[in-house]
Amino acid sequence: MYLSIPDAFLVPICYDKEDIFYIKETVILQQRNGNIDFANRKDIVIGISLPTQREERWVRDRDVMEGYAQGKGIPINIKVSDTDLAQQASQVDELILDGIDILILAPTDSDAAADMVEKAHKAGIKVISYDRLIKNSDIDLFITFDSLRVGELQGRFLIENAPKGNYIILSGDADDNNAKLLKEGAMKYINPLVNKGDIKIVTDQAVDNWDPKNAFIIVRDSLIANNNKIDAILAPNDAIAGAAIEALSEKGLAGKVPITGQDAELAAAQRIVEGTQPITVFKDTRQLGKAAIDAAIKIANGEAIDINDTVYNGKINVPAILMSPVLVNKYNLDKILIDSGYLNKKDVYKKPEQLL
């Protein structure tokens, strides 16, 4: 059957009868501009706009997409905005003027990026929202990891390891939809114990721009205000976890307070080995980046795309590819991160005795 999405595309949906909990859909994105035929084109140019290179994971995203596209002989044009909205808007304008055929956009601001999508569409360019959902816009595809599930993994870990006591709740930037989903997933587990009176949230704050410096200040001040009596910290990613652990370390509490993370950065893996960060959540951005390039090529060529979900962005139900995250701790770190080639064992285990 077909799902009609206004002014965008037609979606033929094929349901997998073997598993009603996993709906596999095939999306054929039809050209917005009927005068342009992308079928079987060989000269596609993919434009990519990334929000930052501050975190290790975004460096990896860029490297993977660049290398994978080059391996397929597809030219790409990458811009990085350094978390600056005006800069990203200007860079997207440049990409459009440069004549790209499709845009992969990881927004600095999930709301404001809607204007960028509109400009691209007016130029006949389709847009893939990468990792972060662009809200209130007619984006053509959303590809990310299941952020709600990431949050659930984090929240469940905390209540299992600190079922009572004072919690610091840190979330990502308030304008990032992923930050909201992460927190929502975690609070599914934490809120019932708050309502029961077992957990007290002493600090609940968004970290502007996901900046670790801001996170350090928040945790430091909360420790002071609560006489160092903190029993758990919800940290949305590894960079923020690292800042929180730095604040804990100043009070001699590093390794004594359960804390979460996300992205499986090298520094986080090292902290897991050292015992100061018990977990991270691994999102294999190698696969995410490759999937985005593959999807971009297919969309530009008018080919079908397999999706496994839809996500409402405030305007439409966006066809989505959601990939699964994995919780990593000291017991499965080698198998998940090292054996897969994501990290190098000698880099993770810095001290010779750790390799034994």
Sign of the Cα torsion 296, 178, 192, 258 reads positive
List of E strands, 186-330: 199-206, 232-234, 280-282, 304-307, 309-312, 317-323, 326-328
Identical fold for domains 2-139+284-322 and 147-283+327-350, yes or no, is yes
What is the Cα–Cα distance from 124 to 33, expressed in whole angstroms? 6
Q: Which fold has domain 147-283+327-350?
A: Rossmann fold (3.40.50)
User: Averaged over 158-166, what is the pLDDT?
Assistant: 99
**23-51 burial string, b = 16+ CB within 10 Å, else e?**
eebebebebbeeeeebeeeeebbbbbbbb
List of E strands, 6-148: 9-12, 25-28, 46-50, 76-80, 102-105, 126-130, 141-145
Q: In this prediction, what percent of the chain has a pLDDT beyond 70?
A: 87
For residue 305, give the nearest of 107, 76, 30, 104 by alpha carbon. Answer: 30
Question: Is residue 262 over pLDDT 60?
Answer: yes
The predicted structure's pLDDT at residue 35: 33
pLDDT band of 173, cuts 50, 70, 90: very high
The predicted structure's pLDDT at residue 55: 84
The predicted structure's pLDDT at residue 14: 37
The predicted structure's pLDDT at residue 84: 92
Say which residue the tokens 């929202």 belong to.
129
326, 282 Cβ separation under 8 angstroms? yes
Average pLDDT score, the chain: 89
pLDDT tens profile 76-91: 999 999 889 999 999 9
pLDDT tens profile 298-330: 999 999 999 999 999 999 999 999 999 999 999
What is the Cα–Cα distance from 112 to 280, expressed in whole angstroms? 30
User: Averaged over 252-276, what is the pLDDT?
Assistant: 98
pLDDT tens profile 207-241: 999 999 999 999 999 999 999 999 999 999 999 99
The predicted structure's pLDDT at residue 175: 87
* Cross-strand bridge partners of residue 282: 326
Which tokens belong to 2? 């077909």
- Model pTM greater than 0.85? no
Say which residue the tokens 């995410």 belong to.
288
HSE-CB of 290 using CA atoms within 13 angstroms: 8
Question: Is residue 144 over pLDDT 90?
Answer: yes
The predicted structure's pLDDT at residue 94: 97
User: Averaged over 35-39, what is the pLDDT?
Assistant: 37
Q: In this prediction, what percent of the chain has a pLDDT beyond 90?
A: 82
Measured distance between the N- and C-terminal CA atoms of the chain, rounded to whole angstroms: 58
Domain extents in the chain: 2-139+284-322, 147-283+327-350
Start-end of H helices in 1-131? 56-71, 85-97, 113-122
Superfamily the domain 2-139+284-322 falls into: Response regulator (3.40.50.2300)
**179-197 burial string, b = 16+ CB within 10 Å, else e?**
bbbbbebbbebbeebeeee
